[in-house]
Amino acid sequence: MLPPSVEIRNSSVSGRGIWAKEKKEAGSILISVKPHISVLSNQSLHTHCSSCCGPAPPSGLKRCVRCRMVWYCDVNCSSNDWTLHKLECSALKKWSSSAPSPDVAIPSDAVRCLGRILWKRRAEGPESIWAKEIDSMQSHRGSLQPSAFESHTHLAHFLVRFLDLSSPAELSEYGLSTAGDLVDIISKFITNTFTLTSSSLSALGVSVSPLVALINHSCDPNAVIVYPRCSNEPSTEEPLMQVVAIRDIEVDEEILTAYIDTTLPRFSRQKFLKETYNFDCQCPSCTKYSGVDPRESMWCPKSCGGKCAVPTEENSLTRCEKCQTPVTSPDAVLDVLRVGQEALDKAVALRSRDFNKAKQLTTNMIPILTSAGLTPACHPLLALNELHQSLLVSAFSSNLTQSVLDDSVRAAAKYSAGLSYVLREGHPVRGVALADLGKLLAVDEPEPSTSNSSGRDAVFPPSGPRRLKLALETLKQARTELYIGFGRKNEGGEVGKSIRETVVSLERELGVWSQGVRNVLEDMPKPLKS
């Protein structure tokens, strides 16, 4: 159901889209819907409920006793999902029995999501509102990029196998007359699917909402799509998908979200948008960016405080925007950028298979990129800092040492600083990054240092009460931004609500520190009057 504050319009530039009919402030919830279909990724199946997509409750998840591959919060969630899962359940068992290895015992989330779409389409009927909304989604079947042919073919093959079809004629029961119709539904899915995320923005799977899919793209969006996990909503309404304004939106202004990671440099964004969504982005960030783009920036070689655009293969001549000093070794910078991207790709691939090697890669690569002069917002340094922080936090959970904790804080601070140059204030990614930094600063120090307790000491991170004060300031800023990014009505979602509790605890702890100092001063002997 489209809320009365927005409406669908047609644009000669971007086609159908959604526009605001009234002014909306940053933090306003523009659209709130339950997706037509949501499916967890294979990695999330045993950690989250396959019905409401929430994390495991304190009592733990309950596994489906038939397929033994999906889990639920309780009987209610299992019952809510049974209409579709009873079909999926049989398909999963058949797939698993014929899988050549345990690595492919469960089909991908894309295959399972498409299977659920077709099963529900068959159950609802081709003339139902639900089916018509799915059919209305845009397809790029007639203009597929050559690079997409192979992925579409594989997905079609696996989907037919998952549905246990033996001939194209059997597609008719799903409202598909030809193989072309099958390609069409796959194209609609790829073009209109969304990443299903946790309340803290971790990827959990995929979801489909024809209404939200009407929103067009910008690399500098005025709105975001989040799943804040509103605790006042019944489980039958979860996962709840919300479009939230991250800046004030005027009457008759188009609502725009980002289809991709906007911290990527322009070339990468354009390439991904063309290959996946078949359009050339004409947003201001891609066509009218003034000055040096922080995503592709390095510090001035003379350290004047200014920035230079990183050299490219097409244009290796680059100067500081402030003092005009040229970059004298562009080839060396290009080599560092290339090696950094290779290291990032390799570390991401190794993350789940060889944690230590991935951490070693990020640990070794980040200083090289930093010494080459890249700014914290520059790709791939920003992405490496994010990954490095995540790996260090995982290491700290099993290795409670001061050095690992401090390294985690430093990595989180660098990542948060880089994001501040790229994403506008109130973006949920910024808010979550600040929340992570604040929480790390608030962790009890296993071996608190006494060497950096002085206010004159510039060592980072600080220790003792200065560390707690910095944690408090960081979490308060995070809460302010989360109230925008996850919606003021939601109080910043689950992340914002958890921060509120930490802030209260820190204020109490700092109060104890202050009272302790006052008590010591009061107990000291008074100087004698001369």
Residue 520: pLDDT over 70: no
Domain end marker among 194, 222, 255: 194
User: What does the DSSP assignment read for 77-127?
Assistant: HHHHHHHHHHHHHHHHHHHHHH-SSGGGSS--HHHHHHHHHHHHHHHH-TT
Percent of the chain at pLDDT above 70?
92
Statement to judge: residues 1 and 42 lie in one domain: no
pLDDT given for residue 288 in this prediction:
84
Q: Tens digits of per-residue pLDDT, 53-73?
A: 999 999 999 999 999 999 999
Statement to judge: residues 69 and 84 lie in one domain: yes
Residue 518: pLDDT over 90: no
Does 152 map to a domain?
yes
d(CA 306, CA 322): 5
Statement to judge: residues 57 and 184 lie in one domain: yes
Asked which of 80-84, 127-131, 327-331, 518-522 is least confident by mean pLDDT, the reply is 518-522
Average pLDDT of the residues in 484-507: 92
Domain end marker among 171, 194, 217: 194
Q: Domain span at residue 387? A: 295-422
Statement to judge: residues 177 and 109 lie in one domain: yes
Statement to judge: residues 48 and 173 lie in one domain: yes
Does 349 map to a domain?
yes
User: What does the DSSP assignment read for 409-441?
Assistant: HHHHHHHHHHHHHHS-TT-HHHHHHHHHHHHHH
Statement to judge: residues 300 and 241 lie in one domain: no
Percent of the chain at pLDDT above 90?
74
Q: Tens digits of per-residue pLDDT, 143-182?
A: 766 767 778 888 999 999 999 988 767 888 898 888 888 8
- Contact in structure between 196 and 180 (CB atoms under 8 Å): no
Q: Which of 332, 335, 302, 336 is nearest to 319 (CA)?
A: 302
Statement to judge: residues 259 and 372 lie in one domain: no
Does 402 map to a domain?
yes
Q: Tens digits of per-residue pLDDT, 187-205?
A: 999 999 999 999 999 999 9
Residue 455: pLDDT over 70: no
Does 200 map to a domain?
no
The pTM of this model reads 0.92
d(CA 425, CA 444): 29
Domain end marker among 194, 217, 246: 194
Statement to judge: residues 31 and 44 lie in one domain: no
- Contact in structure between 216 and 17 (CB atoms under 8 Å): yes
Does 204 map to a domain?
no
Does 199 map to a domain?
no
Residue 524: pLDDT over 60: no
Does 158 map to a domain?
yes
Q: Tens digits of per-residue pLDDT, 285-303?
A: 999 888 899 999 999 999 9
Residue 515: pLDDT over 60: no
241 strand-pairing partners: 33
Does 120 map to a domain?
yes
Counted domains in the chain: 4
- Contact in structure between 495 and 486 (CB atoms under 8 Å): yes
Q: Model confidence at 104, in pLDDT bands (50, 70, 90)?
A: confident
Statement to judge: residues 55 and 187 lie in one domain: yes
Statement to judge: residues 350 and 454 lie in one domain: no
Statement to judge: residues 117 and 235 lie in one domain: no
